[in-house]
């Protein structure tokens, strides 16, 4: 039961991160970076937020239908998505 609660909190954080990326893309500013005219960063934000939303949906399905061990899939996909986003964003802002 504790694992389900923790995974629900993690999935909620994944959805909040996706929402923040969409909001930042529409606003044209991410934390201190202003990128309103950069199409590459807009695409990066769109793809990452889509991957995070899909990860959250898959995570909810896994949480309620599959054994506990499969929750690692959600954790790994979300960690990879955020890591790839961070590295790509860093390289685009050089």
Q: Token digits for 20?
A: 């923040």
**pLDDT grade for 94, boundaries at 50, 70 and 90:** low
Residue with tokens 């793809």: 47
Q: Which of 2, 29, 28, 15 is CA-nearest to residue 60?
A: 15
**pLDDT grade for 8, boundaries at 50, 70 and 90:** very high
Domain range enclosing 63: 2-92
Structurally, how many domains does the chain consist of? 1
Q: Up-side HSE of residue 42: CA atoms within 13 Å toward CB?
A: 8
Digit-coded pLDDT (tens) for 26-41: 887 877 777 777 788 8
Q: What pLDDT is stored for residue 57 in this prediction?
A: 96
Q: What global pTM score does this model have?
A: 0.88
Digit-coded pLDDT (tens) for 34-84: 777 778 888 888 999 999 999 999 999 999 998 988 999 999 999 999 999
Kindly report the length of the chain. Answer: 94
């Amino acid at each position: 039961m504790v694992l389900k609660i923790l995974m629900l909190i993690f999935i909620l954080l994944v959805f909040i991160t996706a929402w923040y990326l969409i909001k930042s893309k529409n606003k044209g500013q991410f934390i201190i970076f202003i990128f309103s005219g950069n199409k590459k960063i807009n695409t990066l934000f769109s793809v990452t937020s889509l991957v995070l939303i899909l990860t959250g949906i898959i995570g909810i399905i896994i949480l309620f239908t599959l054994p506990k061990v499969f929750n690692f899939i959600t954790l790994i996909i979300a960690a990879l998505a955020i890591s790839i986003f961070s590295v790509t964003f860093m390289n685009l802002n050089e």
